[in-house]
Amino acid sequence: MTGFKNVKAYVKDKGLITTDISVENGKISAIGENLDITDPLPYCEGQAVLPGFIDEHIHGAAGADAMDGDKKSLFTIADALVKEGTTAFLATTMTQSPENIKRALKNVDVCMKEQQSGAKILGAHLEGPFISEKHIGAQPLKYLKDPDVDFFNELSAASGNNIRLITLAPEERGAAELIKAAVHNGATVSAGHTDAGAEQIAEAIKNGLSCITHTYNAMRPLHHRQIGTVGAAMLFDELYAEVICDLIHVSAPAVKLLVKNKPKNKIILITDAMRAKALSDGVSELGGQTVIVNGGEARLTDGTLAGSVLKMNDAVKNMVLKCGVPFTDAVDFATVNPANNLGLKGYGEIKVGNFADFAVLDGEFNVCATVVNGKVAYKS
């Protein structure tokens, strides 16, 4: 039987324990002592077996971008992500022409059906075009659109109804109707690239909003007379809060403040990585815009941050070593929390019946092996 023998593993409701884990038909079949593991999965003493990481907000890696709209690019991203312990992800689009967004979404649908290796493509994250001009970030201004239910339905149809997450500005005209429609369609709705104040976020929550996109970045900041989107992220416990923990987009004290003010089951680590991830510094591209990558920072030519080159195992490492978060909490931020935010069943925890998706890390947070559906997808 395939599985792990006598390993240190982070098991649901038990914490880090020494145990055996058996795998059958791509799922976890048993957890306990003295299991008959005849075909052991990669593991060495001193390592930890964790649930596979889930990245709900990633644009690209290894020279490829979800907006490329072709199978080779999306499969390239999937194959790159397992090297950082990520076993599942949402292919994230961006504000672009309707034709380009639809092409990218159609490609997600095709690749979900044909994928054979790498991290699992769970669907799409639609970031834009229903966002605020005031917090445009690295999104192309000319393609912004007011929230539009009919257009969203066109995009959903193009994706094969695989839009699992949508980022929008809830203060924009038509947003309330779109939030309701998206939730009815099975998508999680997140506020991002937004100028919404706390009152507008509170109203959006009533309509089904449940998350904040890359908290602190591209949104109205906290002020003592108007707490803005950032303050609302901390005030409303029911909201999940994404954070890019590269310590470039958000400082360590800001991450600590967020962690201190949110329930620990509501924080989500994302990479928001673009195509330059896993490549050398130099010139890259995002949505037709030139990006300069230097020293781990990806910026447009005007200096605007343009996504990241962050790896998920490094995000977990930064949470623990730079922000003082307990190890298992940091792992939750990259596993069970995004799974719950997206309503995923069978993901995010090591428990019987869940998919056999694992990240094996050493004491330095290096990824030693990644297992997807019970099969080794990466080994260092």
- Identify the bridge partners of residue 7 per DSSP, sorted by sequence position: 19
Write the CA distances from 64 to 79, 105, 134, 213, 277, integer angstroms.
11, 15, 28, 22, 9
Residues 135 and 304: beta-carbon distance below 8 Å: no
Which residue, among 253, 365, 259, has the nearest Cα to 310 in the 3D structure? Answer: 365
Tell me which of 55, 65, 195, 272 is the catalytic residue.
272
What's the one-letter identity of residue 125? H
Q: Please report which helix (H) or strand (E) contains residue 328, including its range.
A: helix 327-333
Judge whether 302 counts as a catalytic residue.
no
* C-alpha to C-alpha distance for 339 and 250, rounded to whole angstroms: 23
Helices marked H in 185-227 — which ranges?
Answer: 198-207
How crowded is residue 36: how many other Cβ atoms within 10 Å of its Cβ? 10
Which residue, among 185, 204, 194, 325, has the nearest Cα to 269 in the 3D structure? Answer: 325
Token pair of 235 as six digits: 């005030």
Which residue, among 270, 248, 297, has the nearest Cα to 125 in the 3D structure? Answer: 270
Q: Which residues contact 341 (CB under 8 A, 6 or more apart)?
A: 56, 165, 188, 210, 211, 240, 268
The SS3 assignment for 162 reads coil
Q: Please report which helix (H) or strand (E) contains residue 286, including its range.
A: strand 282-286
The DSSP call for residue 84 is G
What is the total residue count of the chain?
A: 380
How crowded is residue 289: how many other Cβ atoms within 10 Å of its Cβ? 15
Active site amino acids: 272
